[in-house]
Amino acid sequence: MPAELESKAAMQVGHLVFAFARLDFMLALALRNLLQSQTPDDLNPLIERLGFKERLDALRELVEVSKTLRPEAVQQFDDWYKAADRLRMTRNAFVHGRWGMETRDSLFNASTKVGKVLSGEAKVYSLSELETEAKLAKQVIDAFYEWHLRHVVNEA
């Protein structure tokens, strides 16, 4: 039973990590697309230096000062940003945290910080809770994909 739980949990965590990596890449594309440049490839070294939170924040700033985005696009992005910023904490825990078995039917996700791990600080998940997290992440990521396609790519 523990091996089966671990396998199912690893699949859910893997789905989330893939989804977050896809979002990170889409944020980089959106930054390139909004930073109108004659040579977009020259922006790559700058964008690649940004972490996830910095990409989110940089994109937010670009959207706020954009002269090409319509007001409803800016409002939609602002609503999305709030959801994405809340999801960022989950993303960090899933991508950078440590996983282990809690009980026969639950797993724990511990911080990467040794002091927190040693103090026993961790979040416990059942498989259904992992599935719920994956669905929420997919909704937020899909919403960004649609926003970017509609308001940035198709408006360019």
Q: pTM of the entire structure?
A: 0.83
Cα–Cα distance, 111 to 28 (Å, whole number): 26
Please, what is the average pLDDT of the chain? 85
Cα–Cα distance, 144 to 104 (Å, whole number): 36
128-156: pLDDT as tens digits: 888 888 899 999 999 999 999 999 988 75
Q: Is the pLDDT of residue 108 over 70?
A: no
